[in-house]
Amino acid sequence: MAEFEPVLLRRILKKASPALDAYRSDGGYRALQKAVAEMTPEQVVEVVKASGLRGRGGAGFPTGLKWTFLPKGHPGPIYMCINADESEPCTFNNRILMEEDPHQVLEGIILSSYAVKATVAYLYIRYEYGPATRAMQKAIDEAYNAGLLGQNILGKPGFNLDVFIHRGAGAYICGEETGLIESLEGKRAWPRIKPPFPAVEGAFRKPTIVNNIETVACVTHIVDRGAEWFKSIGVPADPKNPRDPGSYGPKLYCISGHVNKPGVVELPLGVTVRELIDKHGGGVWKGRSVKAVIPGGLSMGFMTAEELDTPLDFAGPGRVGCLGLGTAAVTVIDDQTSMVDVLYNVCRFFEHESCGQCTPCREGTGWMLKIVARIRRGLGRREDLDILEEVGDRIGIMPGTTICGLADGAGWPVKTAIRKFRAEFESYIRSGAKAVPLPLAAVGH
């Protein structure tokens, strides 16, 4: 593992130019050329399937498998949606990729579209990513001029692709697969009921594949270097668990919160949280120690200091009661921080971002915020903790009470916080402490 060489960040770490020429001279678009010249779309799908690549957006669904869900022999159009609505708190790896090395992303988009025979790709970028939008647009323009987009790409007859950038308007729910499609269609981003899944009926009622930026960036390298190379990185599948597809490939880990050196690092999947904090994040700031860690974006719940040796692969966080790997965005909370404040912040976020469609999530997120806010004001009751835990347990697609996973993400941090830090909440409630009032602007919701 020590000799791991960055793949996705290779050019970025060298501070290479994001321009097309520089990207090409570094071997860029080699994979695309190879695929177009030597491989059929089906072969690309097979390679990606064989590589064991799993979606980097949070759910970790096998990418190649998702592509095979498209109806066979569909007359088209088939749409590709690239999810760059990177709204999970503490997550910023897509942003780095788009801003610093847009052609790597674009090559992945073109390759993926080739594989699924999509003729239009929509790049859905969150509104706040201005520089990323501009960088991607510049790369798209360059690609059109170079014959990498448009009609008969790279001289291959019938390989047509147009890429359009669609900017979101700032809602977290637009990052949900079908919420994104609704938003793309110009509607309110209320996630759709499934089935039909987007691969059968997605954007504009046509077959649609939605992939994350980092996922498609990986596709480039898989086609370039082969599935075997990709499989040599990361954590192999657990032979005792037939349902575990393994965690292969490199992953961009975001490190943020109370560390000395926040940022994005690229490592093979399966690195432990402790290694990330100590080796790559420069340790906890101000000489303090870890109280809690969010392993993969706010929705995944909390880990305690005792659980830092958990490997961050697709299966690891689940073993310590977290929802999953999520976006692999590690947020460190130091020992001087009140979990009540942290949880209050979490609840504010989800109360604000719940789309309001399903009753359990709409009312549950609001109720949890009201309870936590009251606890924070010093008016908490012991039974409030039980209510929080119960509500956290009963909302989401896992118990079957909501349409999308936002509610799972809202419930998980609440119930893991209460379960893992119950003593702190109880002593806070007993002491009758009143938290420092936040400025009005920060509380306003």
Partner 1 sequence: MATVYVNDKPVEIGEARLNAIEAAQRAGVFIPHYCWHPALTVVASCRMCLVEVGELKDDGTVQMQPKVVPGCQTPVKHNMVIVTGEYGQHQPNEPIPTPLNYPANYGTPGQRAKKAQADTLEGLLLNHPLDCPVCDKAGECKLQDFSYQYGRSTSRMIDEKNTPPNKPYISSKITLFTDRCIMCTRCVRFTREYSGQGELTVLQRGEHAEIDIFPGEPLENKLSLNVVDLCPVGALGSKDFLYKQRVWYLKSTDSVCPDCSTGCSIHLDTNKDIVYRLRPRENPRAQGWFMCDEGRLGYRYLNSKERLMRPLAGPRGQLGPKTWREIIPALRRDLADRAGRSPDQVVAILSPWLTCEEAFLLARYIKGLAPTATLALGPVPIRGEDDTYPKDRRGRPMQPVRFTIRAEKCPNRRGVEEVLRHFQGEVIPFDRVRDRFTAGQVNVAWVTIGASPDRTGWDEESARAVAQAGLLIVQDLFAGVLTQAAQYVLPSCGFSEKEGTFVNHAGLAQGIRRATNPPQEARAEGQVYLDLMGVTGLFQAASVRRELAATIPFFAPLAAGMDPLGIRLGQVPEPVA
443 binds partner 1 (CB under 8 A): no
Closest distance to partner 1 from the beta carbon of 179 (Å): 11
- In terms of CB distance, is 256 or 354 closer to partner 1? 354
Q: Does 370 bind partner 1 (CB under 8 A)?
A: yes
171 vs 181, which CB is nearer to partner 1? 171
Among 25, 43, 241, 359, binds partner 1 (CB under 8 A): 359
Q: At CA 197, angle to CA 191 and CA 200, rounded to 5?
A: 130
DSSP conformation letters of 118-186: -SEEEEEE-TT-HHHHHHHHHHHHHHHHTTSSBSSGGG-TT--BEEEEEE--S-GGGGSHHHHHHHHTT
State the nearest-atom distance from the C-beta of 223 to partner 1, in Å. 38
Rule CB under 8 A: is residue 363 a binding residue for partner 1? yes
Q: Binding string, 319-358, against partner 1, x = CB under 8 A?
A: --------------------------------xxxxxxxx
Q: Is 171 in the site for partner 1 (CB under 8 A)?
A: yes
3-state secondary structure of 226: coil
Determine contact, residues 324/299, Cβ cutoff 8 Å. no
Q: Does 19 bind partner 1 (CB under 8 A)?
A: no
| Residue pair 182/189 in contact by the 8 Å Cβ criterion | yes
- Is the torsion defined by CA of 400, 401, 402, 405 positive or negative? negative
What are the strands, taking DSSP E only, across 202-280? Answer: 208-212, 234-235, 247-248, 250-257, 263-268
Phi, psi of 12 (to 5 degrees): -65, -40
Closest to partner 1 by CB, 257 vs 360, is 360
Indicate which single residue of 19, 65, 165, 398 sits in contact with partner 1 (rule: CB under 8 A): 398
| Among 30, 167, 394, 419, interactor with partner 1 by CB under 8 A | 394
Check: CB of residue 256 under 8 Å from CB of residue 90: yes
Token code pair at residue 325: 């790997």
Which residue from 30, 288, 362, 419 is in contact with partner 1, where contact means CB under 8 A? 362
Beta bridge partners of 221: none
Residue 142 near partner 1 by CB under 8 A = no
Q: Are strands 234-235 and 247-248 parallel, antiparallel or unpaired?
A: antiparallel
> Least separation, in Å, of the C-beta of 396 and partner 1?
10
Contact region for partner 1 (CB under 8 A) — 199-207, 230-238, 369-377, 412-420?
A: 369-377
Structure tokens at 93: 């790896």
The window from 245-253, 260-268, 275-283, 398-406 that contacts partner 1 (CB under 8 A) reads 398-406
Exactly one of 183, 256, 327, 365 binds partner 1 (CB under 8 A); that residue is 365
| Burial grade of 244 (CB within 10 A; 0-12, 13-18, 19 or more) | middle
Interface with partner 1 by CB under 8 A: which residues?
171, 173, 188, 190, 193, 351-360, 362-367, 370-371, 374, 383, 387, 394, 397-403
